[in-house]
Structure 1
């Protein structure tokens, strides 16, 4: 190899090295960016393309583009789509409200020193250790109408047995309570971390001024904790809207023709794997994705406003 070629190669390598050094923040982040694109953006684009087609049955067969017909059909489905939207909203709103309320109360209690506080914190986190499917199976047995423990307790108290999950009128509220049982500890953990980091000077000043416990919480603690509260609300709202394991394991695709607990997740699953309507399912998934992104943007804007 000639000295000229060797010199050119060395110059090229030096140039690439200098360029990489000047743009090292992008070079170092490139593997993660490529991974995210491969894992998220590509499937999302494929789903977008699929939503404009009449794909159904075998995905390998030829399909035609129908453009916005799937979206029009989904949005015009008053029998299942809009009831599923309503159930998703109700499930998320009620579950998250209860989780935030109970989580705040328990976090305030756990902030105070008392004997056995460490043990209580460990026991409190146990629901988070179990997988959602295991939790669903456990509560499915507890709420079994004939031999379930829940109806046995009602019998001891002299109360009539309930249908719980098997009753269309109580299935969704029952599953909301299960979700609250499982995910309230996560809210407690987030809020407790925020409470521990709050300064005590404001609390002491309000106490000296004669403020009651409720006044100190409402006018001192809560305003300082607002950013943490919104962060917990953001995480739980998005997660609750995507709940699938609990609803599917306990009620399958909605419990027959009534679809009493069919949320958007369950409806999308039914379209895809029960009816093999892949184009329709893709359109529904993207509509659902836009709803979640909209909630995320609104809550994130609120979080940024409270930081100012």
Structure 2
């Protein structure tokens, strides 16, 4: 019985009341049911199927032979490379996006034009941006080396070592995806009450202290959302490194792709590599959820 209802009204209109209660409790679930079904069918089920098949050999023998095979293919190196590229690109995007978001919270001439230019890279297709940066960092005739020569400096072989190649991938990926992170951070910074910063300023807190002790704790949940979205995508990065550096250094995604062939036994190796990649994604997501959990406010 609702607080505004009397026992007489409940007795007179039982069916109507039950109908409203049903609508209150289940309408929301019915609205999200299509989205849940979409995720389960196209995400959870394929992931569970890959985990299941990763433990079976092409001959149907249960065991860890697939995982042993991917270890012999350089699994350890691909894990290290994937972690370096993912966390490195994420760090670049985080600091650049934070700077852009802070700038966009201010009022200045040309803000609309700056916002438009800032968002443009996000609309460029991944393969297109990969070809753009392959041209920029080309050892012969590349724009980066042409600019260095213009300054009187020596040309650089941007693909000289494994780490320099990963640096090219991180920089190229950050150019495309920083705008998305900046928009998410901007939404969090825009929701921050100006009175909080004004109170800290009155208390004598400088810019650095206001940022670390006032701004950052209050937008922690928004930053966690940005890191979650981009972090999962970074671990799944594929097209960009495939165009820029090929299979060397090999990442977990390119290792999966290298083994994936419907008409070859190596497809089971691809399942094993995909499961290992899934484990790293779940571990990363768990860390972000713990570190950037929503703050709990207790009633005064």
Answer whether TM exceeds 0.5 for this pair.
Answer: yes
Structure 1 window deviating more from structure 2 (121-130 vs 136-145): it is 136-145
Q: Does 1:270 align with 2:258?
A: yes
Which of residues 62, 66, 72 is equivalent to 1:70?
66
Structure 1: runs of 5 or more not aligned: 1-17, 56-62
Contact 2:102 2:186 in 1 (8 A): yes
| CA displacement 1:76-109 (0-9 Å, x = unmatched) | 43x6101110011111121111211121122112
Which of residues 279, 282, 285 is equivalent to 1:293?
282
Which of residues 188, 213, 222 is equivalent to 1:194?
188
Take 1:31 and 1:195, find their aligned partners in 2: how far apart are those partners?
33
Q: Does 1:155 align with 2:149?
A: yes
Kindly tell me the number of residue pairs found equivalent between the two proteins.
278
Take 1:209 and 1:30, find their aligned partners in 2: how far apart are those partners?
50
Take 1:118 and 1:243, find their aligned partners in 2: how far apart are those partners?
31
Aligned to 1:181: 175
Q: Does 1:239 align with 2:233?
A: yes
Aligned to 1:45: 48
Structure 2: runs of 5 or more not aligned: 1-18
- The normalised TM-score by structure 1 is 0.81
Shift of 1:239: 1.3
Contact 2:94 2:178 in 1 (8 A): yes
Which of residues 95, 103, 108 is equivalent to 2:97?
103
- The normalised TM-score by structure 2 is 0.83
Q: What's the RMSD between the two structures over aligned residues?
A: 2.6
Shift of 1:276: 5.4
Aligned to 2:215: 221
